[in-house]
């Protein structure tokens, strides 16, 4: 009797999967009615769920599991895949031909794994638009990861251990719109690193060890609208650093080592940029005239204006910069 009951259950399950053309869903996963979207988020999952995975799957998310290995043959089981999210798993390496069987893939998110080294050509077999490698253990970025004239518009390498990003890698990304290099160990940018990123709109360099920037750093990124430079070690900025960035809307400079801003840095725009300037050791003397006047004219464009305070001289310590007078700054002769 038990055997007959088991057979009956198997038949019923198979009928349920095949009814109206629907597909079975892998264990420890949930699937849309069509089977095109699959989400696997159980920590007990340790292997890629090839069994019962529909060949019509277009979106696959495996998140917060114990998955440690993924192969080319795994992904070849879902040849129509266009979005693959593999975040917060246990992946330590990827095969160089991983994406060969998914020629339609345009989005790959590998956030929060344990990737250290990636092989050449690992992202060269499909026209990716978005690549996220956030919060891994990557120490070196390699130009050989990607093909020439890559289709990427979004690249996120934040939260890794990079000390340098080679110009050769960025030169392969002429269509890039968003670049996130925050929370690494970058000490400088190569002189020509951004020269071919003519369509770049958002650049995040926060949380690194940058102490200076060249005057021409952003000369070839005229479409920049957001620039994040906070939490670095910047001590001074070139007066012409932002020259030509007519579309810049937001600039974050908080938590650096800036003592003054050079005259003209923030430019004259029809719509002044929004800035954050807190957490810098501003020295409130005659060299503060430019920033003091800019704050007075554009107070509505400064987040946390009351926290932009003097670190010196002693007589003005902890005073709000915007509250100072010409006399206090030594501007009256």
User: What CATH number is attached to the domain comprising 269?
Assistant: 3.80.10.10
Q: Is residue 176 part of a domain?
A: no
- Residue 20's pLDDT is 36
pLDDT tens digit sequence for 171-202: 999 999 999 999 999 999 999 999 999 999 99
Close Cβ partners of 157 (under 8 Å, ≥ 6 residues apart): 133, 134, 138, 141, 165, 180, 181, 184
Q: Is residue 312 part of a domain?
A: yes
Percent of the chain with pLDDT over 70: 92
- Residue 267's pLDDT is 82
Dihedral of CA 146/152/157/163: which sign?
positive
DSSP class of 109? E
Token duo for residue 122: 């690992």
Q: Is residue 251 part of a domain?
A: no
Other Cβ atoms less than 10 A from the Cβ of 326: the count is 12
pLDDT tens digit sequence for 77-88: 999 999 999 999
Q: Distance (Å, rounded) from C-alpha 308 to C-alpha 279?
A: 7
Q: How many domains does the chain have?
A: 1
Q: Distance (Å, rounded) from C-alpha 325 to C-alpha 314?
A: 16
Please list the residues that pair with 226 across neighbouring strands: 202, 250
* Whole-number average pLDDT of the chain: 92
Q: Is residue 289 part of a domain?
A: yes
DSSP class of 137? -
Flag whether pLDDT at 1 surpasses 80: no
pLDDT tens digit sequence for 288-330: 999 999 999 999 999 999 999 999 999 999 999 999 999 999 9
Query: Which residue's entry shows tokens 């430079």?
Result: 229
Rounded mean pLDDT of 115-134? 97
C-beta of residue 132 within 8 angstroms of C-beta of residue 109 = yes
Token duo for residue 276: 């954050």
Q: Which carries the bigger pLDDT value, residue 272 or residue 240?
A: 240
% helix, strand, coil for the chain, step of 5: 20, 15, 70
Q: Is residue 295 part of a domain?
A: yes
Q: What residue numbers bound the domain in which 269 lies?
A: 259-333
- Residue 23's pLDDT is 67
Token duo for residue 309: 């305070």
Q: Which of 37-46, 136-145, 264-273 shows the lowest per-residue confidence on average (mean pLDDT)?
A: 264-273
Q: Distance (Å, rounded) from C-alpha 104 to C-alpha 126?
A: 6
Q: Which of 18-22, 268-272, 309-313 shows the lowest per-residue confidence on average (mean pLDDT)?
A: 18-22
- Residue 212's pLDDT is 94
Q: Distance (Å, rounded) from C-alpha 171 to C-alpha 179?
A: 13
- Residue 9's pLDDT is 36
- Residue 11's pLDDT is 35
């Amino acid at each position: 009797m038990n055997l007959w009951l088991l057979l009956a259950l198997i038949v019923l399950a198979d009928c349920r999967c095949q009814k109206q053309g629907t597909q079975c869903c892998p264990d420890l996963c949930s699937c849309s009615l069509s089977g095109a979207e699959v989400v696997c988020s159980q920590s007990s999952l340790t292997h890629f769920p090839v069994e019962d995975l529909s060949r019509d799957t277009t979106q696959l998310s495996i998140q917060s599991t114990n998955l440690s290995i993924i192969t080319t043959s795994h992904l070849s089981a879902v040849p129509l895949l266009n979005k693959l999210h593999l975040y917060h798993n246990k992946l330590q390496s990827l095969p160089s031909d991983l994406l060969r069987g998914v020629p339609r893939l345009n989005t790959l998110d590998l956030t929060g794994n344990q990737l250290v080294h990636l092989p050449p050509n690992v992202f060269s077999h499909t026209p990716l638009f978005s690549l996220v490698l956030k919060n891994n253990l990557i120490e070196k970025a390699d130009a050989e990861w990607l093909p020439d004239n890559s289709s990427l518009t979004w690249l996120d390498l934040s939260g890794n251990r990079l000390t340098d990003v080679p110009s050769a890698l960025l030169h392969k990304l002429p269509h890039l719109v968003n670049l996130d290099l925050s929370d690494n160990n970058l000490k400088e940018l190569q002189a020509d690193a951004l020269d071919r990123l003519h369509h770049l709109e958002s650049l995040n360099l926060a949380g690194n060890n940058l102490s200076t920037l060249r005057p021409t750093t952003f000369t070839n990124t005229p479409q920049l609208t957001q620039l994040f430079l906070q939490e670095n070690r910047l001590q001074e900025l070139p007066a012409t650093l932002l020259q030509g960035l007519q579309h810049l809307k937001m600039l974050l400079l908080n938590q650096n080592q800036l003592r003054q801003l050079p005259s003209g840095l923030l430019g004259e725009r029809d719509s002044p940029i929004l800035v954050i300037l807190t957490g810098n050791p501003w020295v409130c003397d005659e060299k503060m005239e430019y920033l003091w006047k800019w704050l007075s004219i554009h107070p509505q464009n400064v987040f946390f204006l009351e926290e932009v305070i003097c670190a010196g001289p002693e007589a003005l310590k902890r005073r709000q910069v915007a509250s100072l007078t010409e006399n206090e700054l030594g501007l009256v002769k």
